[in-house]
Amino acid sequence: MKRFWQIGGFIVLLLGSVANTVHAPSSRQFEILKNIEIFTALYKEVNTYYVDDLDPGKLMRTGIDAMMESLDPFTNYISESDIEGYRFLTEGRYHGIGAVSKQIGDYVTITELYQDQPADEAGLKVGDKIVAIDNKSAVGRTTDEVNEILRGYPGSAVVLTIDRPGEKTPIKIRLVRGEVNVPNVPYSGMVSGDVGYVALTTFTRQAGQNVGDAIQALRSENPNMKGVILDLRGNGGGLLSEAVNVSNVFIPRNELVVSTKGKVKDWDRSFKTLNSPIDTDLPLVVLINKNSASASEIVSGVIQDYDRGVLLGQRSYGKGLVQNTRDLGYNAKVKMTTAKYYIPSQRCIQSVEYKDGEPVHIPDEKRAVFKTRNGRKVLDGGGISPDVYIRKPTEEGILKSLIEENLIFDYVTEFCAKTESIASVADFHFENFDGFLAFLKNRNFEYESETERMLTELLEKSSSDGFELADNISNIQKEIESAKQDELQTHRKEIIDLIEKEIAGRYYYQRGMVEMGLRNDEEIREAVTVINDPARYKEILN
């Protein structure tokens, strides 16, 4: 209760502070003051008289989160316990165990390990289910709740009770937390002999320098290098300054990269390149997909607007918003959208509508037209559209279901429990597709196609309207079911590619996944084809 009155006193002081700074309150300012006072009174009354004991901090967090959720998905409250996650997003490092996890069923399950980090060194494996932490049950806890417990000061220890597939009894593993560093350029190398490749996974500190160093090293070792592929697929962004630095690797000094414009005009800024580029002529293909966001979209948009390279893949996410963090006291922060950003053609790529945190598709005819430096037409709103579109079969149908239901992940977990080691990435080939089919059969795998969902809706609608279409729809459903039996074989190659990539990641970590992707990836092959065809490359850009 004492802490509650401290919070209440803080809010009253805040009211007085706001009132003192506003000499002649406008109608809007009066509304702000009035609602703060109402909220303070409500918070006090509920904490004092509600029938059950309440946690004041938890109650306040519920109110704050609800307020943030009414805004865009990128405006968030960052409590003291969230700071480690914030550090990872901005710096690429944090205090913790060095593992990625997600909730699968009732358990938070390890989905990726960072090589030579605490979790890896302690013997944790991908696929391990966290049953308890320091002997306290973790069953039913969310990923955020578990991660909050696992993060902590370097040198402190935590004991995990693990349910590992293939083991009959739970395993206890003691981990010593450390300073976890995750490289933003996990792999660079040559593909197809004379084309370079650089993977950038996040825009944390030194991203621009690391991309530049990687390209210089490739060019030094391969003087006849014809071009380079920059892979931004799945890169959710990061620091705005590093988006400028990565762009500067390919475009000259003093070129505009991005402008920010918001409500507070004094905060509007234009960011230009500051350094000499690594190379302004080397043919460049940038890979993007629906999970390329924010800083990734700045870089890909800049490359497109200046006709510096070819974009290949799928339309990007559509996050054209700038966030700034402001201190709130008690080691808490708010990460708040304060502006929209505009790339050199002056288009804003922000999606105007979201559903469940995902951008809603905007038809091209509703997007404004802008022009690149060479006069090519480009569109604003809803992300960056690639110059060369590649259909992604994993975003639809049976492949999407296999991924979303974690069936490939679970199969590979069983595979690894029985397989101590595999050949090198270059030499490993998965050859037990029938075993995978048997695994799906044992798991009673079924999926409902979009067509089947539409037929179900049609049946319900037709019945309510008095039309008897049940027999007709039943016949169509039988034909669809028959076709679905062959769908796994139809997508055999794509499924094997996914299995091989997951297996490579288990034995050779993030680098192994990238290397396996290079071997199997249709988009990589198409990017190499574009670079090796100078006439087509120039035609796309002109």
CA distance 519 to 424: 12
Structure tokens of 125? 């494996």
How many Å is the maximal CA-CA distance in the chain? 77
Alpha carbons within 13 angstroms on the beta-carbon side of residue 236 total 6
When the pLDDT of each residue in the chain is averaged and rounded to a whole number, the result is 86
261 among known catalytic residues: no
pLDDT digits (tens, 9 = 90+) for 333-354: 777 888 888 999 999 988 767 6
pLDDT digits (tens, 9 = 90+) for 106-116: 999 999 999 99
Give the model's pLDDT for residue 354.
Answer: 66
Domains of the chain, earliest start first = 2-70 (no CATH), 93-181 (2.30.42.10), 187-390 (3.90.226.10), 392-542 (no CATH)
Q: What's the Cα-to-Cα distance from 348 to each of 352, 356, 458, rounded to whole Å? A: 10, 22, 39
Question: What's the mean pLDDT in 463-476?
Answer: 75
Among 82, 305, 497, 521, the active-site one is 305
Amino acid letter for position 242: E
Whether residue 2 is predicted with pLDDT greater than 60 in this model: the reply is: no
pLDDT digits (tens, 9 = 90+) for 67-120: 888 887 777 777 765 655 555 455 555 567 999 999 999 999 999 999 999 999
Q: Pick 329 or 378 by higher pLDDT.
A: 378
Structure tokens of 149? 């417990």
In sequence order, what are the residues at sequence separation of 6 or more whose Cβ sits closer than 8 angstroms to the Cβ of residue 513? Answer: 501, 502, 504, 505
Type and span of the H or E element at 334: strand 332-342
Q: What's the Cα-to-Cα distance from 12 to each of 8, 9, 18, 19, rounded to whole Å? A: 6, 5, 10, 11
pLDDT digits (tens, 9 = 90+) for 256-295: 999 999 888 888 999 999 999 999 999 999 999 999 999 9
319 among known catalytic residues: yes
Among 125, 319, 484, 501, the active-site one is 319
Whether residue 7 is predicted with pLDDT greater than 70 in this model: the reply is: no
Q: Pick 337 or 450 by higher pLDDT.
A: 337
Among 259, 294, 296, 345, the active-site one is 294
305 among known catalytic residues: yes
Give the model's pLDDT for residue 363.
Answer: 81
